[in-house]
């Protein structure tokens, strides 16, 4: 029994990261507000980490979450896994704080697409919110 327990303890760290992917943006574009006019903008590449949902994300109904690399709070939460839903093998996520944002990941190709849609249609105290709407594409690698 002790040998079995010891073996499981050795395997546990290997399986803890079994469902983690590092995603790196290849291309990013969108719009930015400059002097009251929306202009086409290019944005710095981001990195994301896909991992199983933590307690906070799970309580919001997520199986997986997508964090900006280095951040503890998720950017996106994923209510279905790869084997669920209409598109088998696709992880389909929505914004954690902003519901209209999306993150989609294809397990077979490793491609992902993320959208950040805040800013253009949102206002705060009657003024345009100057968050920059953007779309990103890139590739994920299993960790």
Q: Please report, for residues 13, 14, 69, 117, the alpha-carbon distance to residue 49 in angstroms, rounded to integers and kept in the order given.
A: 18, 17, 6, 20
Whole-number pLDDT of residue 34 = 86
pTM over 0.85: no
Q: What's the CA gap between 21 and 14, in Å, rounded?
A: 14
Tally Cβ neighbours within 10 Å of residue 139.
16
Distances (CA, A) of 78 to 1, 104, 112: 38, 9, 14
- In this structure, the chain runs to a length of 143
Ranges under pLDDT 50 in the chain: 1-16
The pLDDT value given to residue 112 = 98
Task: Return the pLDDT at 11.
Answer: 38
What pLDDT shows up at residue 3?
A: 45
Angstrom distance (rounded) from CA 21 to CA 9: 23
């Amino acid at each position: 029994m002790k040998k079995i327990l010891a073996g499981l303890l050795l395997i546990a760290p290997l399986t803890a990261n079994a469902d983690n992917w590092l995603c790196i943006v290849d291309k990013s574009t969108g719009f930015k507000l400059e002097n009251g006019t929306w202009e086409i903008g290019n944005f710095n590449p981001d990195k994301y980490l896909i991992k199983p949902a933590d307690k906070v994300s799970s309580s919001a109904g997520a199986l997986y979450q997508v964090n900006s690399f280095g951040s503890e709070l998720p950017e996106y939460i994923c209510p279905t896994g790869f084997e669920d839903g209409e598109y088998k093998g696709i992880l389909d996520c929505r914004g954690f704080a902003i519901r209209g944002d999306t993150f989609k990941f294809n397990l077979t190709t490793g491609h992902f697409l993320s959208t950040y849609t805040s800013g253009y249609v949102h206002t705060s105290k009657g003024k345009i919110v100057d968050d920059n709407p953007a779309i990103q594409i890139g590739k994920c690698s299993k960790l």
